[in-house]
Amino acid sequence: MGSYKMFFCFKRSFRHNEVEPPPDVKYAFSTFTNGWGQMSPEQLLRFMIGYQGDTRSTISDAQAVVDNIRHHRHLASFTRPLLTLDDFHHFLFSPLLNAPFISQVHQDMTAPLSHYYIYTGHNSYLTGNQLSSDASDVPIIKALTEGVRVIELDIWPNSAKDDIDVLHGRTLTAPVALIKCLRSIKEHAFVASPYPVIITLEDHLTPDLQAKVAEMVTQTFGEMLFYPPEECLEEFLSPEELKYRILISTKPPKEYLESKTFKGSRSQRERDSSDDEEWGKEVPYLQPEASDKRENDIDEQDQYESDVDDSDYKLPQNAAPQYEHIIAIRAGKPKGGLQNSLKVEAGKIKRLSLSEQALEKAAASHGTDLVRFTQKNMLRIYPKGTRVNSSNYNPLIGWTHGAQMVAFNMQGYGRSLWLMHGFFRANGGCGYVKKPDFLMEVGESSEVFNPVENLQVKKTLKVRIYMGDGWRLDFKQTHFDTYSPPDFYTRVGIAGVPADAVMAQTSIVEDDWAPVWNEEFIFPLTVPELALLRIEVHEHDMSQKDDFAGQTCLPVSELRLGIRAVPLFDRKGKMFKSVKLLMRFEFV
């Protein structure tokens, strides 16, 4: 709240001006009605095709828009089915009728799974922070209903050692029974999307409990569970082939180390037992720098694993063959050096996991190896262990290198998670987004895309922000300012490869619940396929931190051209009922 407003507060009022159509809307209406004051369904169709670029629209679509608007504006059914300028503006400013991106699945879904980015959760069972929040099936259900397709479960023996719990091991997290999580997954797996759900298991079990997991999984999911037809697939099946199926991904049971005969230290045993970050037995961390250094350091891990001989531990003979049989996607950690781990093996596919830090190191030295590996195999990235508050990281590094599973703390918060939400709004929100062709191409000399190569601008996106509305309906009058209407401004920019990343800002519109900016921004893009349009609205405050007023991220490759209504979301990613912007998108 600005101090100058405090002084003049007695003169302020909470007025609301009627939102008037911007000049571009008036011009378009006049152009497509030939200056008449009303628009017919046929004229609306010409606008939708010629101005908006909706080339697949039909007269039935235009008629449905007219009928919808007339119904919601309570126009008499016996009057002529025509739109006034205000009706036309209402249509353009409706996210339901004039969304900024396609709401249906429209990409090819018949390529192998490795050709897609997959909406991936990390520690999907946690209700809050990584150290002391409860484990529950509630966040799993929430993730699935929002389109997440990869659910991660850490499985441990229960206190009696006769059953399986899900919890974040060696922390204060309270457990939840595995069977409860499995039943909730079965019930909610395909509420948001028909495409396959992958369960990644972080396995800390003995062979007898692995066998019990296999029994639970097969009995719970039945025919929904995908069994690999062979011991090891040569190529992943496609999302289309795996519709309504559930896949298990974990390390084969032969990787289980018998602790009684293993010669390594306890801390080192624990490090090798998991496919994820390690927390140690001290809770909570007091020295994040030390844990950063310790966490999944590739060189240390490679040295350790190369020094261990098979004779140093006993592998259970034929341990839980049922368990091995249910694994559809075999997982592992880097062994024998990263370059060796990234080798593409003929007739064999796998999943490799790297921490966000390990990815950054690998991207600097093995960028093209990562791209080549992900053309056929799966790469999963997970948050570093010091993110105890369930924060997240920049997902673009993983996506740029072809990583299919960029695992996020979905119960977290912040701009990184907003990017994740926005990215997977693509392709109808089905949880699978086809990777760009350039990441899958192999040149005549076996060369692949090099993420650090300087690229030319491929497209230029022009964005115009006309106006915003809806805050007066979704917020209390005193939410932003005690004594006067809010002072809104919009931040807009690109999240993408480093060359494309930029942010800009509109002017501040003072004292208006329905601000009009009518400002244009131009964004040159070298990799438009991976670019996200970032939009944030804030309320300016002279004496305190500016107030948050809404955000969204839109995949640039999915933008529908022309004038569009853009709904905004709160900090947690929930869409506001009324808050929206009117914008125009154009490629030049």
Q: Which residues are catalytic?
A: 122, 168
Paired residues of 495 in beta bridges = 532
Longest dimension (CA), the chain: 88
**488-495 and 405-406 beta bridge pairing:** unpaired
**Distance, CA of 322 to CA of 213 (rounded, Å):** 9
Kindly give the interhelix angle for 41-50 and 59-72, rounded to the nearest 10 degrees: 120
**Distance, CA of 201 to CA of 229 (rounded, Å):** 20
**Distance, CA of 295 to CA of 477 (rounded, Å):** 48
Q: The tokens of 462 are what?
A: 């022009």
Helices within 222-355 (DSSP H only): 266-273, 288-294, 298-307, 321-325, 338-341
List of long-range contacts for 28-32, beta carbons under 8 Å, 24+ apart: 28/563, 29/85, 29/88, 29/89
Q: How many CA atoms lie within 13 A of 298 on its CB side?
A: 24
Question: Are 380 and 200 within 8 A, CB to CB?
Answer: yes
Ramachandran category for residue 101: left, alpha or beta (phi over 0 → left; psi -120 to 50 → alpha): beta
**405-406 and 432-434 beta bridge pairing:** unpaired
Q: The tokens of 426 are what?
A: 């693509």
**Distance, CA of 386 to CA of 409 (rounded, Å):** 13
**What values do phi and psi take at 518, rounded to 5?**
55, 50
List of residues 6+ apart from 484 with CB closer than 8 A: 5, 9, 12, 13, 14, 511
Instruction: Indicate the Cα dihedral angle 392, 396, 401, 405, nearest 10°.
Output: 40
**Distance, CA of 37 to CA of 460 (rounded, Å):** 35
Cis peptide before 284 (omega within 30 of 0): yes
Closest CA to 274 of 358, 170, 406: 170
Determine the distance from the C-alpha atom of residue 463 to the mean position of all C-alpha atoms in its chain, rounded to a whole number.
23
